[in-house]
Amino acid sequence: MNKTGKDLDEAGTPSNFKVRSIDLETGEYTVIMNRQDAEVLGLRSLDRVKISNGEGMIVAIVELTGSVVEKGALGILKNGRRSLGVSDDDEVRLVPVTRPRSIEIIKKRLDRIELSTEEIQILTEEITNHRLSDIELSAFVTSTYMQPLTTREIKDLTLSIVKNGEVIEHDVEPIFDFHSVGGVPGNKVTLLVVPIIAAAGLYIPKTCSRAISSAGGTADILETVANVTLPGHRIKEITETVGGTIAWGGGVNIAPADDIIIRAEYPLAIDPYSQVIASVLAKKKAVGADHLLMDIPTGPQTKVKTMDLARTYARDFMEIGQQIGINIQCAITFGGQPIGRNIGPALECKEAIQILEGIPPSSSALEKATSLAGIILEMSGFSGDGKEKAAELLRSGEALEKFREIIDAQGTEIKDITAEDVPIGNFSADICSVQRGYVSSIHNKKLVRIARAAGCPHDKLGGLVLEKKNGHQVDKGDVLFRIFSSNEQKLKLALSTAKRLSPFEIEGMVLERVPGERVIHTVQ
């Protein structure tokens, strides 16, 4: 029984229909009706109807057909049949209803009117319950892009998203959390930060995502060696016993409204500012975070392009965090080139373990991870140098041991994992410099496109290993990076993509800039 239909007025006379199964899935409840029936009932495409039988009731969106469903029948999709408990030829009662209130509320947004707390709650509830069509949802998403929500509206949206999903309540405290806004390739630092923090005796139930447009999300990376799909109660248990998790956020039903909103943002390739904040904070609030460190990679080729924007994000994150009871600090980090050497799920996992083992292939990932973990340690009240303490937890092997405990608790077949245990693709090819000079820039997005051409993120064993980074000197013929793939065809595609895109710029002079990855700014 979809309780959110109760507020909709019946707007016509009821009639009976015979169920016809349509084997399709949609997010929202949709029913397919013959055009002639719709005409009699005065219904148009995307109007709403209440469907009920003895047991259940749903509010569904009407789609019309000339031929798929005959007169007197009603095509009902899987989710609707499940909720109603009906199957072919069962009878259901249908009555047109008024539009959901959320449409009026979206219209207000289009007219640039600030929404009340109650309106945001209604809207979020109806989004969560799949009551909006794609057209309506897109209008809301577009409006938040063209006219950002106010800080108060973002706060209300965040809390509404939390309320309309699963919440993990811990029996221990305080709970720490870490989140990167993303946008920079090779950012495997979560695999370092979580074990360092847990090794320090703190609690960090980290949930993370899979790749959307990147070569690999943290969930994809860890999944090359361990299970990442954990229900909420397992996240709680592992956090309380081992100290931390690195779990896939999609495995637990936190903030489902956010997933629905993101689905509408993806085809438009937009990341509305206010939505980004609500999205992140809702997920952190839902896992019970008391203290949160935000990593905001900044640079012209990342999501956050300027320091000004990064500072605005930082300020709003902290302000809204305070309003919803999360103590937030933000680290604006260098996003001008990939973090570390490796890009792609297994390769990033391998590099993270190398760092845990004390044999980092490059300094930037180590540097970034210890800086970030150090801030969290200082947030916990540690009075010394947090970064030094983090480095110490790495050096002593305690972080490696904690990493092994975490993946063991989450589920892995590999005991006492080492970097050697991480499989990588069998096919590889080198991309070499055609001239002598210095690496003056590395194009993040081009590298991601090459890694994806090689099969990432689906091919977890594919990816790139950078042999040179910004400021490095190269000779003609030097290897710039190596491409890996499990599939020879994809390797070839990645090679031709690499040649076409040319992601490295080599210039014949020494660059003035200090390799940026060493710079880390903290806003507090």
- Using CB under 8 A, list all residues that contact its own copies: 12-13, 22-25, 32, 39-42, 44-46, 65-68, 78, 99, 103, 106-107, 110, 112, 133-139, 141-143, 145-147, 212, 263-264, 266-270, 452, 455, 457-458, 489-490, 493
| Residue 445 beta carbon to its own copies: minimum distance, rounded to whole angstroms | 14
Interaxial angle between packed helices 190-199 and 345-356, expressed in degrees from 0 to 180 and rounded to the nearest 10: 40
Question: Which residue, 101 or 206, has its beta carbon nearer to its own copies?
Answer: 101
Q: Contact 84/58 with Cβ under 8 angstroms? A: yes
| Residue 450 beta carbon to its own copies: minimum distance, rounded to whole angstroms | 13
Show which residues are catalytic. 271
| Residue 488 beta carbon to its own copies: minimum distance, rounded to whole angstroms | 11
Question: Which residue, 139 or 172, has its beta carbon nearer to its own copies?
Answer: 139
Strand order from edge to edge, sheet including 437-442: 473-474, 437-442, 504-507
Q: Please tell me whether residue 240 adopts helix, strand or coil conformation.
A: helix
Widest Cα–Cα separation across the chain: 80
| Residue 94 beta carbon to its own copies: minimum distance, rounded to whole angstroms | 15
Question: Which residue, 6 or 44, has its beta carbon nearer to its own copies?
Answer: 44
How would you class 269 by CB atoms within 10 Å of its CB: exposed for 0-12, middle for 13-18, buried for 19 or more? exposed
The 3-state secondary structure of 394-418, one letter per residue: HHCCHHHHHHHHHHHHHCCCCCCCC
Q: Contact 10/64 with Cβ under 8 angstroms? A: no
Question: Which residue, 146 or 434, has its beta carbon nearer to its own copies?
Answer: 146
Question: Which residue, 162 or 257, has its beta carbon nearer to its own copies?
Answer: 257
CA 516 from chain center: how many Å?
26
Give kind and range of the element (H or E) at residue 178: strand 176-180
Instruction: Give Rg (Cα) of the chain.
Output: 26
| Residue 458 beta carbon to its own copies: minimum distance, rounded to whole angstroms | 5
Give kind and range of the element (H or E) at residue 365: helix 363-379
CA dihedral 30, 31, 34, 38 (to 10 degrees): -80
Question: By C-alpha distance, which of 17, 26, 95, 90 is closest to 57?
Answer: 95
Question: Which residue, 47 or 177, has its beta carbon nearer to its own copies?
Answer: 47
Task: Count the Cβ atoms, other than its own, within 10 Å of residue 511.
Answer: 15
| Residue 460 beta carbon to its own copies: minimum distance, rounded to whole angstroms | 11
